[in-house]
Structures are given as C-alpha cells and as structure tokens.
Structure 1
C-alpha cells in the first residue's frame, strides 16, 4: 500500500493543483450566472463544470456550483476571493471557494457495528473518497486493530450516562481545528449542542430508517411491528432535533412478511453503508448546499 494512503492521506492529483469549486446560494435574480462567468473569465479561469438550480424564478432562492481551472491557483486565490466580494454583495450571496488541493479532513465516530466504517475505509482506500481520514473515535475498543492497520489514529473514549459530558469534551479537544467533517457511522449516541454548533452542517449521520418514518431507537423493530413492505436508510446533517436535520440521501429495498427483525437488520446494513458513503462523498466533493432544513445536491 502507498505510504501516503496508509497514513490516512490521498495523494493530490495533477489537475487538482489548479482546480477549485465555488458554491453559491442567494435570492434569485437576473444576471447571476453571467456575472459569475464573466468574473472568472476576467481572472483567467476556465470553467470545466457548472450546475445551477432555482427554487422559484419569482422571489425564490438560487443555487450554483462551479468548477474551474486557474494557473497558479494558490497564488491567485486570495485575490479572487477579495475581488469577488463586490459581486457577492450585489446579489446577497452566501458563497465559498474550495481549492481541490486542500483535502477535507474527516473524523469518523463509531460504536460496535462496523459495516458503515468498513465501507468508508474501503472506498477511501480505493480512492473513491478523496479526503484525509484524520481519526476514528469510538466508545468501544473493538475496531482499534482494524483501523490502525490503515495507519489511521484510533481514539477509544468510553461513554456512560455519568461520563457523557466529559467524554464529549474529550472528543471536542481531539476534533478542534483538525477536521472539516464528522461522520457518525452508526455511532449510537445522541450528540449534544456543544458538539453540533461548531460543526453546523458538517456532521453527517446515518439513520437506519427512511425518515421521517421511525425516528429514534430500534427503527427496524418499529418497522417490523408496523408490517412495512419497504425499509430504508437516511443520511442527514445533524441538528438539535433528533433525526430531524436536512436530508442528504436516502435509499430503500423491498421486504416481505417473511422477514423478521434480524432479517430486516441484515438487509438494512447494506442500504446504510451505501447511503452513508454517497452522502460523505457528495459533501467532500462540495455538491451539497443547505437551505433551511433542506438540501440541494448537485450529483
């Protein structure tokens, strides 16, 4: 295995040295696309991909994702950001630019079930998750050897009702300034506002049901009792409302009366791992814009 990959890093590809992504959300009005395109052209950039969506041309919100190439990106990026502010102010934009040579840093939180963690590590190892996995944090020690075999730091922080506050403070100390995204890969703990606030729209959870159905604990048992014919999984950003944050991705599979709770869980594990990996991939590729409690996903 490549030593850079083993250390939790994906190598920077040649084209990423001069490519960046711009994300924009603002009230819709005429001239936004033209203004952005003209600005990038004036600064010597070449647009390689552009997506946009408007909720309602009459007073709705407008969303845009642009990828562009620019020679000497690192040297010119600060100036571009400064110059673009005049356009951003004119159209009341919420915007950001993400250079591709700066890998997003991930922390994965997990409990005992390993299927979602394993999927993320597999996809990262294959180069499908173009990010740095900075650490794995768990309230159990079960997966330490497996995670460390990838060269990724593993932190075991036990959590009990009496130590939950102290445990979360220790997590924050580990995370502070070191990660861009937190992934709850079947981390079976409710996170507090103290962790949510500094990572607003940067904590992704996988919930093992097709939300908004079967919120909370034991959703497969709830689904079995209800006699559902479809089960699913939902990846969403974490908010203070339990399982109520903006939904990023969902998927389902048909089941029947012959499937007991154990069988529903077995089927559900496959859905969970795929749905979570998609959501994480889209986030690190800057494909998601959040508006109120919804997402716009350019995929």
Structure 2
C-alpha cells in the first residue's frame, strides 16, 4: 500500500497550555517537519483552532498509522480533528439551475488546474447547462424536480453523490431549497453561493431588494448549507460599489462576477482544508 509524504492537520479544542508543543512534538517523533502552521484563539468562546501542513522527512508514511499515533494527543486535549493526505484532491459534485456564470468559473479553474479538486459531475433540474458542462468533458446529469417529486429527486442526488464518490457538493446558483433531511446529511460538505451580502437581503431577488433600499454596495456570500435558509456558516464574502443610477438588471449583471469569484475562493479554501467550523461561524486560514 502506498504511503503519504505531505499531510494537512486541522483541529479545534478548548484553549489550554501546551497544545502547540504537544502537536509539534508528536509529529517530530513521527518524522515530520512543519512546513506551514496557523492558529487562532476565539477569546469569546475559549476555543483554539489550528491548521498545520506537515512533510515527512523519512519517506512515505501510512496515513492510518499516523492517525493512530496522533490519537493520544487528540484525546488529551479533546480535539475535533481531521488529518488529510495533502496530495489528494477532494471529489466535487456541482449543482446548477439556469444561470451558468458560477459554474463556468469553476469549470474553467478546474480545467486550468488552479482549483485543487476532482470534478466528478454536474447535475441540474434544467437542461440549460448541459452543453457547457459537456464541452469541458464533465458528465452532466438531468434531475428535474417538482413539488410532487422532490423527495424522489433528492434521493437521486444522494445516490449520485455516493456513486461518484463525491466528498462535497457545490450549489452554483442551484435555485432549489434543499430539504432539512438532505441539509443534515450534507452538513459541513455542501457550499452555496448567495447573491447578496448576508445577513442582509435573504431569499429570492436580493438585487431587487437592494435596489429598493438604494444600497451603494452589493455583494455575494459563500456559506455552508444548513436547514435554515441562507443562515449557514459564512466562508467568504465580497462587495462591489454601485450607483443610484443602476437598474435592478444592471445590479444583477454586476453581481454575477462577484458571485463567481466568491464561490471559487470558498471552494478552493474548503478543498485545501483551510476552513474550520466555529459554531455558526468559520475560521478561515487563507493566508
């Protein structure tokens, strides 16, 4: 069985003395060198967060053996932790409806090799994005949905996730509300792009809501999906200045570029294991 030489560790736990020293000491004994490390203490909750990139100086190691060795440190400090092979590219499934700007950005970044994922497929409740998806050589799955067949369609989505071995799902302007049950099954591994700077202007037509309020900034928000609509932990946001002279349709056009950039960043940071959940918030070690 082949081993691994580069690892990414991320964890959170109650802040207490000795955590960093214990982690560094354990991996030193396991023959690893620390190439990169970031840490953060949330003083409001007393939680400590850390992401570390490790390189073996003794040749490839068995990931299971390294995890077993780290378990003693993890249990001592009560960590919520994950250890990954840094070379492995997470398998990503994308959902889309009729707007393709976010999907096209993801497809292009994946094709260029700048998005560290394995894109295993795209599914949609419409046929509009089939030609774009297949032009990139990616399998396209048409899964139409109505109020009458929603449960059946979501079962097909879960089956597709399992069949493709997907590690996470990206909703690239997929204009359907996922059921509570599906949200729970995908907790922490489904990313949505909302065409507004949350927590303002939730739900449908946020650009029209922004126009009605006369805002001078519009934005986009990438967040993890939860059962509460547009309330999931936020991964990334960005804004763009607009004018009183811009129409709702012009706001939509301006916003689409922002949506694509924000979603791309969120997907990349998730794939690189830079995002740690902190209750209803996130800690993002993106630099």
TM-score higher than 0.5 here? Answer: yes
What's the counterpart of residue 60 of structure 1? 46
Q: Map 1:1-299 onto structure 2 (within 5 A).
A: 18-56=5-43, 60-70=46-56, 71-73=58-60, 75-176=61-162, 178-299=165-286
The answer to whether the 8 A contact 2:4-2:63 is kept is no
- Residue range with higher mean Cα deviation, 162-171 or 85-94: 162-171
Distance in 2, Cα, partners of 1:159 & 1:77: 41
Distance 1:59 1:187, change over 3 A: closer
Kindly state the Cα deviation for residue 291 of structure 1 after the two structures are TM-superposed: 1.3
Kindly state the Cα deviation for residue 77 of structure 1 after the two structures are TM-superposed: 1.7
Distance 1:17 1:77, change over 3 A: closer
Partner secondary structure for residue 176 of structure 1: helix
The answer to whether the 8 A contact 1:47-1:68 is kept is yes
- Report the number of matched residues: 282
Distance in 2, Cα, partners of 1:283 & 1:37: 24
Partner secondary structure for residue 16 of structure 2: coil
Kindly state the Cα deviation for residue 144 of structure 1 after the two structures are TM-superposed: 1.3
Distance in 2, Cα, partners of 1:235 & 1:282: 11
Distance in 2, Cα, partners of 1:100 & 1:167: 34
Kindly state the Cα deviation for residue 198 of structure 1 after the two structures are TM-superposed: 2.1
Partner secondary structure for residue 34 of structure 1: helix
Kindly state the Cα deviation for residue 272 of structure 1 after the two structures are TM-superposed: 0.2
Kindly state the Cα deviation for residue 85 of structure 1 after the two structures are TM-superposed: 0.8
Kindly state the Cα deviation for residue 59 of structure 1 after the two structures are TM-superposed: 6.5
Kindly state the Cα deviation for residue 18 of structure 1 after the two structures are TM-superposed: 1.7
Kindly state the Cα deviation for residue 206 of structure 1 after the two structures are TM-superposed: 0.3
Distance in 1, Cα, partners of 2:184 & 2:88: 24
Calculate the TM-score normalised by the size of structure 1. Answer: 0.91
Following TM superposition, the consecutive aligned residue runs of length 4 or more in structure 1 with deviations greater than 2 angstroms are none
Kindly state the Cα deviation for residue 50 of structure 1 after the two structures are TM-superposed: 0.4
The answer to whether the 8 A contact 2:4-2:62 is kept is no
Kindly state the Cα deviation for residue 257 of structure 1 after the two structures are TM-superposed: 0.9
Distance in 1, Cα, partners of 2:4 & 2:31: 15
The answer to whether the 8 A contact 1:28-1:59 is kept is no
Structure 1 gaps, min length 5: 1-15
Distance in 2, Cα, partners of 1:124 & 1:249: 19
Distance 1:59 1:153, change over 3 A: closer
Distance 1:207 1:59, change over 3 A: closer
Calculate the TM-score normalised by the size of structure 2. Answer: 0.95
Kindly state the Cα deviation for residue 193 of structure 1 after the two structures are TM-superposed: 2.1
Distance 1:114 1:59, change over 3 A: closer
